Structure 1
Amino acid sequence: MLGFLVVVLIPLVAVLLLSFTDSNLLAQDVQPVGLDNYQTMATEDPAFWRAVVTTGIFAIGLVVINVALSLFLALVLHRKLRGAQLFLALAFLPVVTSQAAWAIVWRFLLQGEGGTINSLLSAVSIIGPNWLFEAKPALAAVIVVAALKTVGLKAVIFLAALRNIPKEAIEAARLDGAGEWQMYRRVILPLLAPTTLVVVIITFIGSFQVFDYILLMTNGGPSHATTVLAFAIYQQGFELMRTGYASALAVVLFAITLALVAVQWWARKKWVHSE
């Protein structure tokens, strides 16, 4: 309780109170402004709404790619093919690599001219874009890089859940004549639903907190195409020194994340068939 109070609750209350002020980090000047920061955000700051849309696209893309790849990898490894354990260890290596190192390596790989990715594409007569300096490729590249980082970890979670599926359910389905596709669709995936829900929520929350990939790979560009809400908070608070407005952005981000996670948790009974 003491740790929660000091590390979580007091900072949350402090950020909430700071969001109702016009404060400058350098001048140490704090002036109460009521709801002005929120009004500015909603009606006078088009960059806020652009960041909200970018954050939504990033979150959806990250969840879909990360969860799909993790589940596919777990299903393949569950078949106990030769070398599966070695492949799982290799897939887990990015998890134990620092995010900063992972982002910097991919920044070099995705360089427009001379980058490894474009060199491989040119070998098959494909001209790759300037990945990190064009709006759509930049956002897509950051999403994929962030998704690949934790595929190994989520695959281990799915693999553990697969190994806990009752063998009786599999045997009963086979006796009823279920084919391979029906086995996965009607038995395995429904039994994995609770684990999938947890993985989706964890990935979703993480997608709203992304910062280092944006800072190290694109710095929010090009033309703010990769500026998500978390990076906008950093810019307002530590580049423009508008800590009051940055706190208001943080409160909004917290509220959006909490609301969407609550909706996912409320809707779990519609697709989670095993508790």
Structure 2
Amino acid sequence: MTLLQDRAATARSAPGRPSYWTMRRRDHLTGYLFITPALVGAVAFVFLPLVLVVWYSLHEWNVLADTFDFVGSENYRKLAEDPNVPGVLRATALFSIGLVVLNLGLALVLAVLLNQKLRGTTFFRVLFFSPVVVSLLAWTIVWGFLLQDNGGVNGLLSLFGIDGPNWLRSGGTAMVSVVVVQVFKNVGLNMVLFLAALQGVPQELYEAARTDGAGRWTVFRRITLPLISPTILLTSIITVVGSLQVFAQISVLTQGGPGTSTTVLVYYLYQQAFQFHAFGYGSTLSVLLFLIVLALTVLQWQMRKRWVFHES
């Protein structure tokens, strides 16, 4: 017997000396090893960039002039005094409210209709979901051509004797056009989530309600909505956060115009940082965007106790 084998046998036979690698410690180590890749990714691509953005917001960084000067709270003072910020926040709010209301409302209506056991529902499910898998840039470029003054939308309206406007160059229709394009792009995703939630509602509850003489609206309001409310919370958080991060649609369709009527916060951030090369002020706008997203997400999460089923 070798010396190593002798020591191992002695350790196994020695009373009162439990092994360090117990089952509990091995389970903990296995769990830590599994979460390590995700944790490293989160630190490298989420937490570290967030800290760096805050650090950059305290500096005046001009890449062209090769300057990186500490200015303290000067960028935040500039943000408070910027005359464009109120208009940018107003455009951001209009876009977000319009997108959230239309997207969630239309997705819920489509899910209820396509949850019926009728012929052809599979075709329409695929039809409404297909824009989700289409490239965002390609989708936006095509709609840009359709919404031009002599584009497909106005060509269709002319068949009915209607003279359509230049949708993307008119202050009254530009924001509506961008919202509608985005709604058509992503409504299928929320529709599928609502469909999954609707199919998880026990049919016994519907049968009991119909036996008691409840109408369709009562059944929908008293049974369907409460039971799918967790999914409504999920889709609302995803849609709100997504609406505050929109960039490609604005950049391709309107470039923030006409004027600044469609200049949302992310596009304004892009202009300051990458067009005017004011990376310090752009980082300050990024901090503002982060705080808005965080505040709205926390608000929705806290309000869930009032209307989400099983959360009261």
**TM-score scaled by structure 1?**
0.97
- How far apart, in 2, do the equivalents of 1:247 and 1:136 lie? 31
Q: Distance in 2 between matches of 1:36 and 1:225?
A: 27
Give the drift of 1:129.
Answer: 1.4
Which of structure 1's runs of 4+ aligned residues deviate more than 4 A? none
Please give the alpha-carbon distance, in whole angstroms, between the structure 1 residues aligned to 2:74 and 2:212: 65
Shift of 1:136: 2.1
The correspondence for 2:219, drawn from 183, 191, 196, is: 183
What residue number does 1:101 align with? 138
* 3-state SS in 1 of match to 2:292: helix
Matched position secondary structure for 2:182: helix
Deviation at 1:126, TM superposition (A): 2.0
Deviations 1:152-187 (CA, angstroms, capped at 9, x unpaired) = 111111000000001221112111111112111221
In structure 2, the residue matched to 1:22 is 60
Match of 2:27 in 1: none
1:19 and 1:244 in contact (8 A); partners too: yes
Between the aligned partners of 1:71 and 1:239, the Cα distance in structure 2 is 40
Equivalent position of 2:36 in the other structure: none
**Shift of residue 27 of structure 1?**
2.4
Equivalent residue of 1:23, what SS?
A: strand
The answer as to 2:250 corresponding to 1:197 is no
1:122 and 2:122 matched: no
List runs of 5+ in structure 1 lacking aligned partners: none
**Partner residue in 1 for 2:113:** 76
- For 1:28, the aligned partner's letter is D
Equivalence map 1:143-222=2 (5 Å): 143-222=179-258
Q: Distance in 2 between matches of 1:274 and 1:79?
A: 26
User: In 2, Cα distance between the equivalents of 1:32 and 1:205?
Assistant: 31
Deviations 1:99-150 (A, max 9, x none): 10010010011011x2111112222222211100011200110011011111
Give, in whole Å, the separation in 1 of the partners of 2:117 and 2:163: 38
Q: Which has the higher contact order (CA 8 A, sep 6+)?
A: 1
RMSD: 1.0
Aligned to 1:111: 148
Match of 2:126?
A: 89
Counterpart residue type for residue 106 of structure 2: L
**Deviation, structure 1 residue 274:** 3.5
Once residues 127 and 75 of structure 1 are traced to their aligned partners in structure 2, the CA distance between those partners, rounded to angstroms, is: 35
Q: 2:98 corresponds to which letter in structure 1?
A: G
Which is higher, the Rg of structure 1 or of structure 2? 2
Distance in 1 (CA, whole Å) between partners of 2:185 and 2:98 is: 14
Counterparts of 1:147 and 1:36, CA distance in 2: 38
Q: Distance in 1 between matches of 2:172 and 2:310?
A: 39
3-state DSSP of counterpart to 1:22: strand
Structure 2: distance between partners of 1:260 and 1:173: 36
Residue 273 of structure 1, CA deviation: 2.2
Post-superposition CA distance 1:30-71 (Å, at most 9, x none): 11111111111112x111121111101111100001111111
Residue 28 of structure 1: how far off its partner (Å): 2.6
Instruction: Report the AA paired with residue 5 of structure 1.
Output: V
**1:52 alignment partner, SS class:** helix
CA contact (8 A) 1:22 1:243 kept: yes
Of residues 10, 13, 22, the one that matches 2:48 is 10
Asked if 1:260 corresponds to 2:291, the answer is no
| More off after superposition, 30-39 vs 210-219 | 30-39
Aligned counterparts, 1:235-250, within 5 A: 235-250=271-286
2:302, 2:140 → 1: CA distance? 35
The alignment-based identity, stated in percent, is 49
CA distance, structure 2, for counterparts of residue 260 and residue 172 of structure 1: 38
Q: 1:52 aligned to 63, 73, 89, which one?
A: 89
**In the alignment, does 2:70 pair up with 1:32?**
yes
Q: Secondary structure of the residue that 1:252 maps to in structure 2? A: helix
What secondary structure does 2:60 align onto? Answer: strand
Tell me how far apart the structure 2 counterparts of residues 136 and 80 of structure 1 sit (CA, whole Å).
Answer: 41
2:168 is paired with a residue whose SS is: helix
